[in-house]
Homo-oligomer: A and B are copies of this chain.
Amino acid sequence: MARTSVKVWAPATVANVAVGYDILGFAIDGPGDEILLKRGTSKGLKIVEITGAKGKLPLDPMKNTAGVAAIKLLESLGAEDEPLEMSIRKKMPFGSGLGSSAASAVGGVFAVNELLKTGLSKREILRFAVEGEKVADGAWHADNVAPSLLGGMTFIRDNETLDVHKIYVPKGIQIVVIYPEVEVLTKDSRAVLSDSIQLNQHILQSGNLGGFIIGMYNSDFELIKRSLNDVIIEPQRAALIPSFSKMKEAALSHGALGFSISGAGPSMFAFCNNTYVAEKIVGSAEQIYGDQKIKVKTFQSGINNEGAFLF
């Protein structure tokens, strides 16, 4: 029986993860995009409603990451005239460094895939989601899109060919995401980065990346802790985020395995191995930003291993 409507969820994500700029990311529980897709009456895909975005996201499907991702899949199926109506319900902050545009792209393409029962796997629709995401920042990269769609901790060997792999996640990993409600534009966040780095920085960061992956496979939390140290990106971006150092110091003093910037910021994440530490960090975040009268949202969750799903 053909479906007449679907409701899907695409989770928010943390990209870069301190040691994997452009190649590492993971999905979390809690924030994300809910997308409702219905068969409509007039030709082609329309975005009929966007909630939770304060009117800041375009209804024009060709300018919206959810719309573009959906249309790219429809075109590949020769189904671009299929009458479809999409409602996007943002249940996460955007411009926050939590992969908002990626969650929309994933939700859009995943909803079409489920409504039309194409039989395509998540891996097969990944590239359409990346095309959607590209509308937001002009770059072809899957570090938010891949974990939002596939779930888990994803490692991208190569963005160009979407050579994406899930890294084993040891039991007990807890994430705290801290979003201070200040605006950091992705273009500013990209602009502060130098195009070149020292060979020695590359060696140190590669050591930390490898140590992180080995630590994950071996459930070696001490190794993960020694590894989660960004010597390249974080030092350049930290100044864009209010009280970054203070927040990091608090998180590490509570026992976090690592603390760094989520994507382009201003969100930050703490990587923990139990809920006890995670909860203390949430408390510190509320106090540190409360003292400064900066609104803050916190999310605490495990690593979401499922990715996008059909309700």
A residues contacting B by CB (< 8 A) are 20-24, 155-159, 163, 165, 167-168, 193-200, 202-211, 213-214, 217, 223, 226-227, 232
Contacts and interface: CB of A to CB of B under 8 A. Distances in A.
A155 to B, nearest CB: 5
A207 B165 contact: no
Q: In the complex, which of the residues A168, A198, A206 has the most CB atoms of chain B within 10 Å of its own CB atom?
A: A206
A33 to B, nearest CB: 27
A205 B49 CA distance: 43
A165 B23 contact: no
A196 B196 CA distance: 7
Given A217-B217, A227-B157, A199 B194 contact: yes
Contacts of A163: 207, 211, 223, 226
Contact of A157 (B159, B194, B208): B208
A138 to B, nearest CB: 15
A216 B232 CA distance: 26
A212 to B, nearest CB: 9
6 contacts: A21-B199, A22-B203, A157-B207, A195-B199, A205-B206, A217-B217
Given A159-B207, A205-B206, 9 more contacts: A21-B202, A155-B207, A155-B214, A193-B199, A194-B199, A195-B199, A199-B232, A202-B202, A206-B206
A193 to B, nearest CB: 7
A165 B205 contact: no
A206 B20 contact: yes
B207 A205 contact: no
